[in-house]
Structure 1
Amino acid sequence: MIDSLEVEARDGTWTFTLNRPDKLNALNAALVERVLNAVEQANAQKARLLVFRGAGKSFCAGFDLSEIDAQSEGDLVLRFIRIEMLLQAIAKSSAPTLALVHGKVFGAGVDLFSVCRHRIAAPGSVFRMPGLKFGLVLGTRRFASVVGAEKARQILEETNAFTAEEALEMHLAHKLTSPDEWEWITASVREKTQALDDVARDDLYRVLSSGQSETDLSNLVRSAARPGLKERLRSYLRTGSRAA
């Protein structure tokens, strides 16, 4: 059986590769738990750099909706909570975090990208955040802190896709590079971030942190727990989308 997450730990650099290429690396419950556990393990072992990638044609097509008929509303709420806990584990890491994305970067995939401190996209990547179509507030404040409140409102309200070039323009992506340059990018990020010792870097991340993790979680739970989540997800699926 193919592992849904490939983890490579070498010289302090932990690389996490989402490995459900047939599903465009959409996040099912098992994959979220695998990534969360791996990130917590890396943090416990004082990793020097966390890198997130996706196998196949896309980085991550978001929340996997393919099994919602077999799940209760409580199951679905818990799945979204666990995604938020994963995002918080990445955000709170004392290690630099790097996302290398390509292809489709949708929904929770954008949240994974946004929470990383260094964000690289391949030309041709496509971004979309449709979560509010089914009333879900996930990663909203973090996204707004990166691109600005007004730009975030426009994107989240209209739920339209945007290009890698637009992501660069709004500072969601820091640079556009082809995947054949990512090994060099990873080495460069690691070298630059080691200019500070561990204590100074921890202090920097702590000072810059918003300290709003509890508010983020409560906002998510409030939106996800509103009655009718499952039907809203089904309605979204009827538009022809498979992941969000």
Structure 2
Amino acid sequence: MNVDCQDKVWTLTLNRPDKRNALSAELVEALIAAVQAAEQAQADLLILRGEGRNFSAGFDFSDYEQQSEGDLVLRFIRIETLLQLLAHTPCATLALAHGQNFGAGVDLIAVCRQRVASADARFRMPGLQFGLALGTGRLAALIGGQQAHQLLAGSQVFDAAKAEQLGFIEGIQEPDTWPAVIEQAQQTAGLLDATSRAYLHQLTGCPQQVDRDMAALVRSASAPGIKQRIAAFRQAATS
């Protein structure tokens, strides 16, 4: 991951283009550390974006067969930990998405308070197909329970136009216009100090979801047979 810090603006760029920026354990820990460092530095704006063809393909399954079920559960817990840090950071947050995005990668976009995507962006959250309740509550809070239910029940792919219609993203902007998007976000973030932003985020967010989301994630991930469920899901996806 690349971290760029300029004028109280921190840009975190997922930089595993050969893996479509899938979230390995190491990348998740690097993101957690970077978010904490940005808070300590009292950054105004935290930007998430991806290098290469897409923002993020979600959980990195490449070595899951060699890991214990306990290791896999911990990895999912650490992703939820990252999402909660981003949900409650006093920094303003901006996701810049493009390409094909899946699962936990979509959760990373959803948790940011401002979300912009290019016209080629696609999104899919298939976690419930292998019994994982990650990001469900946040998506429902963002786009409404009924619309979230429809998307997740069928593990539907939705494009940028549909995402904008649902309110999942706030606008469709091509990457060559992103510097202007960032400049505007920086100006808006700078209108409030960190304490005021913290109050704003606390009072307009859903703090009651913190324990609920973590509890749902832990219960779903720790149910026996997570490896078998992942294997069945991946086999069905390739058949």
Q: So what's the TM-score if we normalise by structure 1?
A: 0.95
Q: 2:2 aligns with which of 6, 23, 35?
A: 6
1:46-84 alpha-carbon deviations (Å, 9 max, x no partner): 111000000000000010111011101000000000000
Aligned residue for 1:223? Answer: 220
**2:45, 2:232 → 1: CA distance?**
40
Matched residues, percent identical? 46
Aligned residue for 2:90? Answer: 94
Aligned residue for 1:140? Answer: 136
Matched residue of 1:231: which SS? helix
**1:39, 1:239 → 2: CA distance?**
36
Matched residue of 2:37: which SS? helix
**2:116, 2:219 → 1: CA distance?**
32
Larger helix proportion of the pair: 2
Q: 1:202 aligns with which of 198, 201, 204?
A: 198
Aligned residue for 1:76? Answer: 72
- Distance apart, 1:168 and its partner CA: 0.2
- Distance apart, 1:200 and its partner CA: 2.5
RMSD of Structure 2 on Structure 1 (CA): 1.0
Q: 2:163 aligns with which of 161, 164, 167?
A: 167
Aligned residue for 1:27? Answer: 23
- Distance apart, 1:240 and its partner CA: 4.1
Aligned residue for 1:48? Answer: 44
- Distance apart, 1:42 and its partner CA: 0.8
- Distance apart, 1:210 and its partner CA: 1.2
1:116 aligns with 2:101: no
Q: What is the count of residue pairs matched by the alignment?
A: 237
Q: 1:16 aligns with which of 8, 12, 16?
A: 12
Change (3 A) 1:42 1:197: closer
Q: What is the letter of the counterpart of residue 226 of structure 1?
A: A
1:7-37 alpha-carbon deviations (Å, 9 max, x no partner): 0011110000000001110111111111111
Matched residue of 2:48: which SS? strand
Aligned residue for 1:184? Answer: 180
Aligned residue for 2:54? Answer: 58
1:239 aligns with 2:236: yes
- Distance apart, 1:104 and its partner CA: 1.0
**1:196, 1:138 → 2: CA distance?**
31
Matched residue of 1:155: which SS? helix
The answer for unaligned runs of 5 or more in structure 2 is none
1:150-169 alpha-carbon deviations (Å, 9 max, x no partner): 00000000001110100000
**2:6, 2:206 → 1: CA distance?**
31
- Distance apart, 1:106 and its partner CA: 0.8
